[in-house]
Structures are given as structure tokens and as C-alpha cells.
Amino acid sequence: RWTSSHAKAFAGLNSVAEADLSHFSRILPDSCILSMLPPTSLGSDDLSTYNTDWMGKYKGRANTVLKPKTTAEVSAIVKWCWEKRIGVVPQGGNTGLVGGSVPLGNELIINLGNMSKVRSFDPTTGILVADAGCVLEALSEYIAPHNYVMPLDLGAKGRQVDCMIGGNVATNAGGLRLLRYGSLHGTVLGLEVVLPDGTILNQLSQLRKDNTGYDLKQLFIGAEGTLGIITGVSILTAATPQASNNVFLALPTFNNVLPLYMTARQQLSEILSAFEFIDRSAYELAVKHGQGKALSDEDTKGAECFVLLETSGGKREHDEEKLNKLLESLLEAEEPLVNTGVLSQSPAQFASLWALREGITEAVSKEGKAYKYDISVPLSSFKDVVDLTREHLRKCGLVRKGAVTHVIGYGHVGDGNLHLNIVADQYSTEIQDALEPFVYELVASYQGSISAEHGIGAMKTHALHYSKDDKSIEWMKRIKNLFDERGIMNPGKIYLVDGQPVKFF
């Protein structure tokens, strides 16, 4: 049971007390307040979905969750938190994979789920302005009748996994369409942000071109809620491709991935829209857990890994001709780069082939506890990174003991982004200590990045220096301090608190 006085929360900040709650109830209706404090007195179970991340790896102890409906409400809540030095965690769909969206102690959670209105959509320009709590999938459905698609697409959609556009921007999410439409740093045109002191920064521009000094909105893209709460997003959507095809290619060896990528880019040029890598173990996990329809034994025989290739273009016959020509040249070459290729023949098969790739995340979580490393390394090293990690864990005796059941690799080849996942029977310090700093040092040896697209969150605060030098970290901290000198906004995310990593298990 929570007491009514301020308990010291994480990072020397205050937690929400009864007096704060009564202030919040003057800002929000009761239906938007979830609290364990009197008089509402919910139990911790009632808040557990907000306090626990998607993987069940990170667990916070927030006693209160607020779900404002307007920017003015967010501003009033944050202003109070600033004055009372209450730690705040902005939360969207809570699908983040680095522990950024849940408290590390008992900070207040401000969940954006009730801010879910489309503010405007211009069918001529394709510019969409939406509340930050709009679910990405809902936005896709909203613009589809106008023949537009969102410039990003993630596996975190549908099936009760609903990432939101504010969360996407806050994490600078990459996903499956980055190869085609680029990063959110390019497609986001404007943002509305509530700063840590409650000020509303209105940068909700709908302009494609605007060279009027510093582009402040860029600072909030990928800031993981450490600089303010994004309440509105203006984003450039893309015309729906007139034709989309995909093909699942089985490769005899990983060594063929790079030549295949080069060949596909050359032959398909503007219609190549995705090029995703799946190693054999990742494929088998997806199949085991019912993600998409398994390929026939014949189609997978002798395959070390797979590539899911997608084309999106303006004219079906033209695209199919190009794709068929590519497949012919691949299969008929003297030393074929691929064993087989399964080309989707219907929308259902198109979706099923994608599910084999997109469903890996869910499959991994069903199989066991996932240690996820989302890294940028040279394409040529993808397999080595996975193999070296497996070998290292074997030497540590963890594979033999059965603690680690799978070491798999998949990811966005086109973006140089490998997802190295270790599946184990539990989250334990023994496995964690075996993996870190090993993986980070490996990444650094390739001059890679320890976070390609998921962010730093709470998971990698102690490892930031592997990808950023001291001067860069110093300037990042100066920026953080400029916006949030009281440190209330998402404490313990991106940066260490008091130089100490937090223990999660």
C-alpha cells in the first residue's frame, strides 16, 4: 500500500502523493486517472500493464498513471511535476524493447493513449497531422482510402501490440520501410512538444522546406522522452504503391547475402522496397510459433539463411517482369546465389511471407526470455557476430547447461541493422554478464552502433560510450540539462543516474 506522503522516487525525485493526485483531479476527469493512492486505491495489479514492458523484462513501480486527452492537460500535469520535482515517464503503446517506456522506480506515467485524434490530412500533399497517441496501424487505415501509406511500418502492430506515432518518433523507429522511405528524421515535418517545465513548443510545421535556423524538432526525434513529451506529429506520408510483390529466397550460404543484395539493387533499382535477412534458426522459431506458413521442406533444404525481398512500384506488369528476370538470373546462374525462391501469388501469401519475418520478435518471446541486441555492423559481419556470440556463450558453459537455447540473427540488411537475439530460460545476471560487455566490444570492434533503431532506454545506459565519444556524450548531457535541469523527464533513460547502472533482475 502506498502512503500519502511523498516517497523518494528514483533519481532523487519525488513520487506522486495524495496532494498531487488531488491537483491532477482538477486537471483530468476521474476516468483519466489510475492510481493506487487514496481515494482511488487501485491495486498494483491494476497498473501492471503500464508498469511492465512488452518483454516482461523491465518492471516499474508507478503508483499513478495519467491519461490526458489534450495538449493543455499534458502541459498542466507536467508543469506541476516540474514544480514538485516529480519524475515523469512518457508512455505510448509500451512496445519499446529497451526498457524506456516504464519507470525505474515510482515515477508518474503519462500515457498518451487517450490522445488519438487525427488533426488533419491533406490528400494532395499527403501531409498528416495527428495526436501523438494515435496508433500507427490506425493511421495506416485512416490514410489508406486516400491511397497513401505511412512511411514506416513495424512488427509492433495488431495482435494487441500497438505502437503509437509519438512513441515511434520518440524512438526514431526504423522498421521495414526505412530502405524505401528513409528515417523519421526526414519524414517528420513538425512536432508539438510539452517541455519539462510545461511549456508547449509548437513546431507543428507542415512545410517541406523551412531553413529558418536550427531545426529544433530533430532533437526530440529519438530522444526517448528525455527532453519532453511529444503531443502532436506532422508527417509526410507516401503514395500507395500500385503493385507490391514479395519473394522468400533460400540461400545455401550466408556468403551469398551480399552479392544477392548487390544484384537485387542493380536489377530492381527503384522498385526494391525491402531486403530482410533471416537466419535458419530465426526462421525455424517463427515457424514453430505459427508466424506465417512454413515453406515446404524442398524449398528450405540445404538453406543456411533466407532473404525476404519486396518490390513496390507503379505498374504491376513492369515490376513482375523485372522480378521474374531477377529470379531467372539467380536460379539459372552457373553458381546460383539462391537455392529456391517462393514468390507470393496472392495477398494472403504476401502477408504470410511477411509474417515469417515480422513474427520473429513474437516467436522469440514465446520461446523464452529474450536478450535483444539491435546493432549496426557491416553487412559482411552479420554471420560472424552471431557465430562469435554463440561460441562465446558455449565457452561460458551457458549453452551446454541449457540456459541459452538459441542465438539467432535477423534484420534489415538494407539498413546494415542486425538483430542479434539470445533466447534463454530466464533473465539472469549470469547470462547478462556473459553477454555484456562482450557484445558491445564486438560491435565497437566493427565501429558499429550499439543501437541501430530501438534506442538506449534503460538497457544500454552503461554502454553509451561504446558508440559515442566523451565529447559527444558531454554535449548530449548539456542539451538534456538545457531542457530539463531538474531531470524529471524519463530519468535513468539514455543516461546513467549517479554513474550507476540499474539492476533489473
CB 192 within 8 A of CB 230: yes
Non-local (6+) Cβ contacts of 229 within 8 A are: 74, 78, 88, 90, 110, 112, 132, 166, 193, 194, 489
State the number of binding residues for ligand FAD (CB under 6 A): 39
Q: Which stretch binds ligand FAD (CB under 6 A): 96-104, 119-127, 247-255, 426-434?
A: 96-104
Q: What is the nearest approach in angstroms of ligand FAD to the Cβ of residue 360? A: 9
Query: Does residue 177 belong to the site contacting ligand MLT (CB under 6 A)?
Result: no
> Using CA atoms, how far apart are residues 376 and 412, in angstroms rounded to an integer?
10
Query: Does residue 278 belong to the site contacting ligand FAD (CB under 6 A)?
Result: no
Question: By C-beta, is 156 or 221 nearer to ligand MLT?
Answer: 156
Three-class SS state of 248: strand
246, 273, 339, 361: which one contacts ligand FAD (CB under 6 A)? Answer: 361
Q: What is the nearest approach in angstroms of ligand MLT to the Cβ of residue 459? A: 13
Q: What is the nearest approach in angstroms of ligand MLT to the Cβ of residue 372? A: 6
Q: What is the nearest approach in angstroms of ligand MLT to the Cβ of residue 415? A: 10
Among ligand FAD, ligand MLT, none, what does residue 106 contact (CB within 5–8 Å per kind)?
none
CB 422 within 8 A of CB 431: yes
Question: Which residue number has the CB closest to ligand MLT?
Answer: 361
CB 219 within 8 A of CB 227: yes
237, 256, 273, 361: which one contacts ligand MLT (CB under 6 A)? Answer: 361
The closest alpha carbon to 127, from 112, 115, 139, belongs to 139
- Joined grid coordinates for residue 188: 517528420
> By CB under 6 A, what part of segment 469-498 binds ligand FAD?
490, 493
86, 164, 236, 250: which one contacts ligand FAD (CB under 6 A)? Answer: 164
Question: By C-beta, is 219 or 363 nearer to ligand MLT?
Answer: 363
Query: Does residue 362 belong to the site contacting ligand MLT (CB under 6 A)?
Result: no
Terminal CA-to-CA distance of the chain, rounded, Å? 23
CB 85 within 8 A of CB 486: yes
- Joined grid coordinates for residue 189: 515535418
> By CB under 6 A, what part of segment 144-163 binds ligand MLT?
155
Question: By C-beta, is 102 or 129 nearer to ligand MLT?
Answer: 102
How many degrees, rounded to 5, is the angle at CA 289 between CA 288 and CA 295? Answer: 50
Kindly write out the interface string for residues 431-470 of this chain, putting x where it contacts ligand FAD by CB under 6 A and - elsewhere: ----------------------xx--x-------------
> Position 90: which residue type?
P
Query: Does residue 376 belong to the site contacting ligand FAD (CB under 6 A)?
Result: no
Non-local (6+) Cβ contacts of 133 within 8 A are: 92, 111, 112, 113, 114, 115, 116, 164, 165, 166
Backbone angles phi, psi at 425, to 5 degrees: -80, -15
Binding site for ligand MLT (CB under 6 A): 155, 360-361, 372, 374, 419
Binding site for ligand FAD (CB under 6 A): 54, 89-97, 100-101, 112, 132, 154-156, 161, 163-164, 166-168, 170-171, 173-175, 224-225, 229-230, 361-362, 453-454, 457, 490, 493
